[in-house]
Amino acid sequence: MSKAIEELKNYIKENSGSANEFLLNLNHFGLENIYFQEYKNKDEYLNLSKFNKHMKGFGETVEKELEQLAFKFEEAGIKLVHFKGVLLAKELYSPPELRKFSDIDVLIDTNYLAEALDIFRELGYVFSEGNKVPSINTKLNFPFFDYLTRTCHIQELVKTIYVDEEPVKLFVDLHARIFNDLVTEWSYVKSIILRALKSDKYWLLEHNDRLIHLLCNFTKDYIDTGIMHTFLGQPVKKKLVSLLDSALLIDKYTSLIHWDTIISRSMGWGKQGELLFALKIFNEIFKQRVPSEVFTKLEENLGNYKNEVGYKVRALPYYLRKDPNSILWAERLTLYRESINEMDWKGPILRISEAERIIVNRECIKLGNSSDEERKISFRFDLKIEDKYLIVQTLVHDEWFTHSKINNSNSNFISLYFGTSGIDDQGNRVPLVQILNFYPKYNTGDVNLLYIWNSIKEKDTTDSYTGDKNTIPFTHPYKLNAKANGYELTIYLPLNELLFYREGDSACWFDINVSYSNEDGKGRECILAYANRNGQRWYDPSCYAKLILNE
């Protein structure tokens, strides 16, 4: 067992009260596969051993795929740069199957995106969305290049491979960037690709780039991904494997790790805060690897995150002040609540008792269709409280919807978002946001109908009007009227059924979205939002509106 793997095990054992708690903590930190021998006399041992055996076969099969990809890209003169995955496992772990992975992550220069997709298509890959042919011209739910402004890779590619004669789906994330939030800073990718190092058949991130990515990936997983699961009311592991990867990388390539270079690059990318957060946790576990002056220099060059967009960056000052051990072992919901209270509210503030009318008029043009006509869409809404109901009145402008261009499409709906405490009256974990999706259906016979998304999926509940197994009729009062240029919808929501999180007289989060369908009614063309327009819906409630309920 390597020094780093032994250090991590000892750290968790020292912070565990008993042998059973130690095993629970290994699982909690996503390390059960690496330390599967610790479960030798437990029921879990057999399943962990079987999984590691599967990972061995999976890794060998994936490596054969990588050999084909390397040959094809080399032949085309395109650098395909690998990070994480089976190549990292082979390089740093013995045996490699101890390091769990599920997909292939590769980085390319976007100038060669079309050629890259041609190669993946030739090797039998398809887009995971609808098994569509990989091409920059393929019509997806989100326009191809628009998707790249939302995440650092294009829509996932997938191919069925066979491991021990069993079919397994292999997913590929084809990255245009290595960080999600550097959308406008594309130039840094060019330098990363230029610095990439050839190892055997494969191009890999240069060692200092790779270390920055691994450490910042820990920060992303811990704060962003962890908060997303907290938002959804789901349990989430506090994964430490990226920190272990980092320790193993430092130990193997000590002479090639240059901390001044790491500091300089992280500052150039605006990542010094995320790097500092990861290194503070790292230093609690893996001693004497990071010089003390690294922390000093990073702390001296922290940015002002007050006006930044996104929970991860704006909450960093809070997390950086906390004791690293308390961050690792504290309940995540508590940390989240505390951090939110320290952040400036970015969204608008509404006072319902004043029946304030909020008017939002946003327009866009229908793209990617054969018609030359423009499609103007917008919405506005009113809120008020009356007779224990929260009344939401929405006027949606969409000429296509009422001119039979879209026929009763399920893709046209209104979403309401309400903040919760994260805990229900029985003490159970619930999502931090309650989402209500409403589907207006008119001209169905002589009746205008309203349906709501049913989060409890029941058998044989397919609705005859919507054809959707997960929608049910809305049973509270509503008014739905078709208009020449859209529709007007008034919804009466009983206050006692809304899981409001109240802080004084506030329900902390609120938003309203209207989704507009494509011309064929089979996908969403556009989503207009009142408050939350920055893609942080599952991370940062302060980008919602704050609702003041003066009943």
- Give pLDDT tens digits for 187-228: 778 899 999 999 889 999 999 999 999 999 999 888 877 777
Alpha carbon dihedral 20, 24, 26, 29, in 10-degree steps, equals -160
Whether residue 437 has pLDDT greater than 90:
no
Specify the residue for token string 């020449």: 484
Give the tens place of pLDDT for each residue, 391-423: 888 888 776 655 544 444 455 788 888 877 777
Q: 460: pLDDT confidence band, cut at 50, 70 and 90?
A: very low
Helix 272-285 and helix 241-252, axial crossing angle in degrees, nearest 10: 80
8 A C-beta contact, residue 127 and residue 155:
yes
Give the pLDDT mean for 249-254. Answer: 97
Query: DSSP letters of 142-182?
Result: S-HHHHTTTSSB-SPEEEEEEETTEEEEEEEEEES-S-TT-
Going 116 to 119 to 121 to 124, the CA torsion angle's sign is negative
Tell me how far the alpha carbon of residue 373 is from its chain's centroid.
Answer: 35
Instruction: Output the pLDDT for position 149.
Output: 64
Instruction: Please provide the distance, in angstroms rounded to a whole number, between the alpha carbons at the two ends of the chain.
Output: 63
Q: What is the three-class DSSP state of 203?
A: strand
229 contact partners, CB below 8 Å, separation of at least 6: 235, 236
Q: What does the block give as tokens for 286?
A: 């893996």
Higher-confidence residue of 57 and 465: namely 57
* Candidate ranges 218-227, 262-271, 277-286, 364-373; pick with highest mean pLDDT: 277-286
pLDDT beyond 70 at 47 = yes
Of 145-159, 416-430, 459-473, 487-501, which range is least confident? 459-473
Give the pLDDT band (50/70/90) at residue 456.
very low
Please confirm whether the linkage preceding 167 is cis (ω < 30° from 0): no
Instruction: Pick the more confident residue, 367 or 53.
Output: 53
- pLDDT, tens digit (0-9, with 9 covering 90-100), for 253-271: 999 999 999 999 999 888 9
Mean of all residue pLDDT scores within the chain:
81
- What the block records as the tokens of 16 is 């565990």
Of residues 545 and 193, more confidence is placed in 193
In this prediction, residue 361 has a pLDDT band, given cuts at 50, 70 and 90, of low
Is residue 111 very low, low, confident or very high in pLDDT (cuts 50, 70, 90)? confident
3-state secondary structure (DSSP) of residue 342: helix
Q: In this model, does residue 287 exceed pLDDT 60? A: yes
Q: What is the pLDDT of residue 458?
A: 40
pTM over 0.85: no
Region 20-46 average pLDDT: 93
